Amino acid sequence: MTGSEDIALITILPLTILFWAWVVWAILEWRKTRHKSQLHNKIVDKFQSAQEFNDFLQSKEGNKFLNFIKFNGLAPKEKLLSSLSKGVILVTLGIALILVGQIFTEEMKYSIAFGIVSIALGAGFLISTFISYTLSKKWGIIDEKD
C-alpha cells in the first residue's frame, strides 16, 4: 500500500462507520417521533369536545402535556442554538482540515476535499439557522424581543 492508499483507508473507514451510525440514529429518532405522535393522537381522541380539550390544556396536567409534545423535547430557541453550534463546529473543522492539508502536502488533496465538504455542511447549517430564525420571528414562534 502506498501512503495515499493508507490515508484513504484511514479516512474512509471511520467516515463509513460514522455514516451508518448516523443512519441508525436517524431511524431510531424517526421511530421515537412516530410513537410519540401516535400517543398524542390517542390522548387527543379521548376528548369529546373542543371545550373539554381546552379545559384540559388549561390544567396542570395539560401544561405538562404541552411541554411533553415539544418536537424532540427542544424549544425553538434551543433548536436554533443547536443548529448554529453545529454550523460553527463544521466550518471550524473544515478550516482545520484545509490547514492540515497545507502542512502535510502528500495527503493534501484528501484533507482539502474533506475540509471543503465540512465547510459546505457548516455553511448549510448556518444558512438554515438564519432562515429558521427569520421565519420563526415572522410566524410569531419567537418573540421580537427574544
Which DSSP letter does residue 134 get? H
Q: Give the CA angle between residues 97, 100, 104 to the nearest 5°.
A: 135
Sequence ranges of the domains in the chain: 1-72, 74-146
92 or 66, which is more confident: 92
Question: Would residue 47 be called left, alpha or beta, if left means φ above 0 and alpha means ψ between -120 and 50 degrees?
Answer: beta
43 or 74, which is more confident: 43
In tens, the pLDDT along 8-58 reads 666 677 777 877 888 888 888 888 878 877 877 787 787 778 788 788 878
The single residue listed with the C-alpha cell 373539554 is 52
Q: Determine the Cα–Cα distance for residues 40 and 19; give it in Å rounded to an integer.
A: 31
Average pLDDT, the chain: 79
Is the pLDDT at 136 greater than 60? The verdict is yes
Question: pTM score, two decimals?
Answer: 0.54
Longest dimension (CA), the chain: 73
The cell for 85 is: 453550534
132 or 145, which is more confident: 132
